[in-house]
Homo-oligomer: A and B are copies of this chain.
Amino acid sequence: MGAPSSDCPDPFEHAKLELSLKMQQPVHDTASSPNLGVAVPLKKHQRISMTPGAGDHVYLVTYGVVLVEGKLPEQRRQVLEILYDGDIYPTQDAPEFLATALVASTASELRRLKQQAAEALSGNQPEFARRIAAASAVRGTRRTIHLASISRPSGEERLADFLVEMGLHLGRPVVSGRMFDLPLSRDDIADYLALNPDTLSRLFSRLKAKRMIAISQGRATVADWEALCRLSPLSGPLVELSKRCRSIE
């Protein structure tokens, strides 16, 4: 289905960059040196469209935060999922008519492999196969959680779910709380949570008024992490997932 084609100029200009890829370490030469795919560095807001017609690929996120966007004709775009360091994204998942694209939310680094090449590698390299399977499972679970979150009617709960997700992925604990960057814009978050940006702004204001969260210049501080988790119906599964995630590395 999807095929890569960068919308912005020079997506490969840094392709020779020396990357410290986690995926690279477990690989040993077999016959011909195994191809771990093309390195694709992305600047913030740079996008990669899945153009129909070309072959399927697999993207590995080696650094940064990347949004998977979809867009129906005449409709507001949607943020279908968020990819983090270590995630995998097969373009097969993108229906052609959904005009899917990967968009860097922070400066990011991907690796791109042909679908076939990835399958071949999985066949030859058990360690590679293991990592891919683990990454797929994590992504599958995260998608389930996101769906469950979106399905709840309450906007406030969805926002809390999102903040817990971000906090777990990008945050560091501070005294009795947690602190993390919020790389997504309000519109990004709204499109991820299937909410109107105006509504989302109100929800943020409400949380700020309740002293659940403080935000300045894209940096969020949650004074009482436990309280936020109580507000998020899916904090349980999210914490569980984040533990599983960490146990892979």
Contacts and interface: CB of A to CB of B under 8 A. Distances in A.
Interface of A: 1, 70, 72, 75, 78, 80-81, 90, 92-98, 119, 123, 133, 137, 140-141, 143-148, 150-153, 194, 233-234, 236-237, 240-241
B140 A147 contact: no
Nearest to A75: B233
Given A93-B137, A141-B93, A151 B150 contact: yes
Question: How many copies of this chain?
Answer: 2
Contacts of A93: 137, 140-141, 143-144
Contact of A233 (B72, B133, B151, B153): B72
Nearest to A74: B233
Contacts of A95: 141, 144-145, 236-237, 240-241
B144 A147 contact: no
A70 B123 contact: no
